[in-house]
Structure 1
Amino acid sequence: MRSVDHALQLAVLLQVEGPFGVGEAAERLGVAPSTAHRLLAMLVYRDFAIQTRDRRYAAGPVLSLGASSQSRTALLRSVAMPHLAALVERVRESANLVILAGDHVRFIGSVECAQALRVGNREGMVFPAHLASGGKVLLADLPPERLDALYSEAKWAGRLDQRPSLAALRRELRTVRERGFAINAGRTESGVTAVGRPVRGEDGRALAALSVSLPTVRFSRDRLPELTSALAMAVRDVEEEMRGGGAHLPGRR
């Protein structure tokens, strides 16, 4: 099962971040280079990856994410990760970077805190956007017609029992817009609470979200000002670096 998990993590990394070498893959997974090489060779065999002329690996035909989206996501992650680590130092809880992928959010960056009881690394995972804190702040920024399309009955055919009430979702997202942050109290994972804020591009549109995840036993409303303030600082730092550090990042399509 661990090998399967590692292979899936590599597939996600190839899809959302673009090409990397065996050494980089081994470092990200925490495995030996020989193990990373075997996993990548299997992904190549099954067309999930291809090997480039410089002996790096890139997404193959099965992973059909556009190159511009890869570079945008990789750039966003590279800018945000140091600020995620600083956020973790500030609040002593785990932190994440998420992007919207249809009606789900994908975790493209995650930093664990050092506490014995903690929320683990979520990188590569996906959760329903309307349940996750980061997903809610991203949905709250969508034009009404796009939100309606995402949650139309036709789009959710075959899983209508999982489809949220659009009227209730609109009300919740209105509150999220007013507050500037969202809370997920055990709706994606039992015993886990998360708080999220949007990261905005130069055009003012939300292109990603930062979130802090912690065991529910350590969360209280008294901690909310601390968490939202720390998130606001991290978001500000990411946005400033993207604007002023030469890391131009286009707005979300």
Structure 2
Amino acid sequence: MKNPPNYLVRSVDHALQLAVMLQVEGPFGVGEAARRLGVAPSTAHRLLAMLVYRDFAIRREDHLYAAGPVLSLGGSSQSRTALLRSIAMPHLAALVERVQESANLQILSGDHVRFIGSVECTRALRVGNREGMVFPAHLVSGGKVMLADLPPERLDALYDPEKWGDRLDQRPNLAALRRELRNVRDRGFAINAGKTESGVTAVGRAVRGEDGRALAAVSVSMPTSRFSRDRLPELVSALSLTARDIEEEMGGAGRPAPATAPYGS
């Protein structure tokens, strides 16, 4: 279970957010970094310079910053994740408008999920930004809907006791997990009721690729005091609309543009 530290060191938090952006989204400039963090360009420049110094980033000839040796990922994975996030963010914002709760975009990374996009609602009592955070997949609503979509042999491989080493005490009971994931498949959504943060409840739904497999998940998170089973139809419906819109746009982005008819034809 994760709770924010009592004394948040803002500059460290900002540097870590930038590192995650570099790793999962690809190159960006000082202006974009400043906008995303809500800081002055001079502050963003200093943070990026320190990431370069420690090999978390490199500064390219076009003055954009990219992931350095410490963070480097394969180019195809990086560009795909960046495309997914850029398409999804406006739809997350629309989801927040619909339900007045915070919304997130997650991807599966082994037996964990990474939050690659987050939009906070404006209510005084709300769940904060989760972007860049990593949680065990079997505990998170979005993680559950993505795990539920895996072939049985892939699920077995993820939770093979031999791979967990000194984390064996954190490994879920696989028989119980399979039963829960069957329910998730039947319902089409998953709930996380305080498993990763006390007082927070989340509902998640898969975002599917053109092959029908889950490529990501969208979720809404709220204080448990505002959640009730009566809200589920509204939340699931809103998540379904958001997932559908992201899926349609991702599908269009992956297809070649139609040929233009010759003039005068």
Same fold per TM (> 0.5)? yes
Task: Please state if 1:31 is matched with 2:39.
Answer: yes
Identity within the alignment, %: 84
Query: How far off its partner does 1:161 sit?
Result: 1.0
CA distance in 2, matches of 1:242, 1:105: 20
- TM-superposed deviation, 1:160: 1.1
Amino acid at match of 2:186: E
Distance in 2, matches of 1:159 and 1:208, equals 25
Aligned partner of 1:159 in structure 2 is 167
- For residue 131 of structure 1, what is the aligned residue in structure 2? 139
Query: Which amino acid letter does the alignment assign opposite residue 21 of structure 2?
Result: L
* Aligned-partner SS, 1:158: helix
**Per-residue CA distance 1:93-128 (angstroms, 9 max, x = gap):** 000000001111100000111111000111111111
TM superposition outliers: structure 1 runs of 4+ over 6 Å:
none
**Counterpart secondary structure, 1:155:** helix
CA distance in 1, matches of 2:162, 2:121: 41
- Contact 1:140-1:177 within 8 A present in 2 as well: yes
Tell me if 1:225 matches 2:233: yes
Long gaps (5+) in structure 1: 249-253
Residues 191-217 of structure 1, C-alpha deviations (whole Å, 9 max, x = no match): 000000000000101000000000000
CA displacement 1:29-74 (0-9 Å, x = unmatched): 1111111111111111111100111011000001131111110001
* Map of 1:100 onto structure 2: 108
Output the TM-score relative to the length of structure 1: 0.96
- Describe how 1:79-90 pairs up with structure 2 within 5 A: 79-90=87-98
Q: Secondary structure at the match of 2:163?
A: coil
| Partner Cα separation in structure 2 for residue 124 and residue 243 of structure 1 | 25
Equivalent residue number for residue 204 of structure 2: 196
Give the total of aligned pairs.
248
Within 2, Cα distance between the matches of 1:218 and 1:84? 20
Equivalent position amino acid for 1:206 in 2: A
Question: Which blocks of at least 5 consecutive residues in structure 2 are unaligned?
Answer: 1-8, 256-265
Find the aligned partners of 2:33 and 2:44 in 1 and give their Cα distance.
Answer: 6
Which of 175, 179, 189 aligns to 1:171? It is: 179
CA contact (8 A) 1:94 1:110 kept: yes
Question: Who is 1:251 aligned against?
Answer: none
- CA distance in 2 between partners of 1:204 and 1:162 (Å): 31
Question: Counterparts of 1:94 and 1:7 in 2: how far apart (Å)?
Answer: 23
C-alpha distance in 2, partners of 1:55/1:237?
A: 34
Q: C-alpha distance in 2, partners of 1:241/1:69? A: 18
Return the letter of the residue paired with 1:6.
H
Which AA in structure 2 matches 1:106?
R
TM, length-normalised to structure 2: 0.92
Tell me, yes or no, if the aligned pair for 1:75 and 1:247 is still in contact at 8 Å: no
Larger radius of gyration between Structure 1 and Structure 2: 2
Among 144, 149, 160, the residue aligned to 2:152? 144
Determine the C-alpha separation between the residues in 2 that align with 1:121 and 1:226: 22
Q: Are 1:9 and 2:4 an aligned pair?
A: no
Q: Residue 67 of structure 1 aligns to which amino acid in structure 2? A: G
